[in-house]
Amino acid sequence: MSIKRLTKTRIPTASGEFYLCLYDSGDGEEHMALLMGDLEEKTDVLARVHSECFTGDVLGSRRCDCGEQLAMAMQRVAMAGEGIILYLRQEGRGIGLLSKLKAYDLQDEGYDTVEANIALGHGADERDYSIAAAIFHDLGVTSVRLMTNNPAKIEALEALGIEVTEHIALQAEPNADNLDYLRTKMLRMGHTISLNGANGD
């Protein structure tokens, strides 16, 4: 995967002051790295690889836990004083916004998130983490303490040469609108999620 860093600029946020790097990966999308601290040549960097979720990140949708995970990751990086959050333009686990919204309609008819993607002709998860690995390498980062609930993400990054030295869960509070979504991620995709008794089982 070939990438090109386009620019880097200061971004003050409610969580703290970050720097935002914008990348061109040649796939028609511009991906981002949100940075705090001096990370060059450091190991075991606190990191999150976050895939774009317009509905959750921007609108605050309760159908998923994406927006909450992004906010928690920013807060944890700010508390640590350094870290990286990669923001990959891979909406809907890589199927795009249109298909994701169509999948929502199918979920309202009783499909789970995996079944809905497959019914639309997609895989359960079509994301490509080679972009993330390329950005980490550009930043001089070879090992991370990864904030994720997704073991497949850890396996993918390690296969691409990024050592994951620690797995840090990002547990959002379940709600009535995302309970089935979280249960599906836990039971069908192996995510390390605790529903804290909210599943009624």
Query: Does any domain span residue 41?
Result: yes
Number of domains within the chain: 1
Supply the range of the domain harboring residue 155: 9-90+127-189
Q: Is residue 163 part of a domain?
A: yes
Any idea what the CATH number is for the domain that residue 27 is in?
A: 3.40.50.10990
Residue 109: count other Cβ atoms within 10 Å of its Cβ. 8
Residue 61 lies in a domain: yes
Task: Give me the tens of pLDDT residue by residue for the chain, a chain 201 residues long.
Answer: 688 999 999 999 999 999 999 999 887 889 999 999 988 778 999 999 999 999 999 999 998 889 999 999 999 999 999 999 999 999 988 899 999 999 999 999 989 888 889 999 998 888 899 999 999 999 999 899 999 999 989 999 999 999 999 999 988 888 888 777 788 777 766 677 777 644 433
Q: Is 183 a member of any domain?
A: yes
Q: Is residue 36 part of a domain?
A: yes
Cite the active site residues. Answer: 125, 127
> Tokens 């895989």 belong to which residue?
123
Domain membership of residue 103 (yes or no) is: no
pTM: 0.89
In a domain, 139, yes or no: yes
Distance CA 158, CA 140 (A): 16
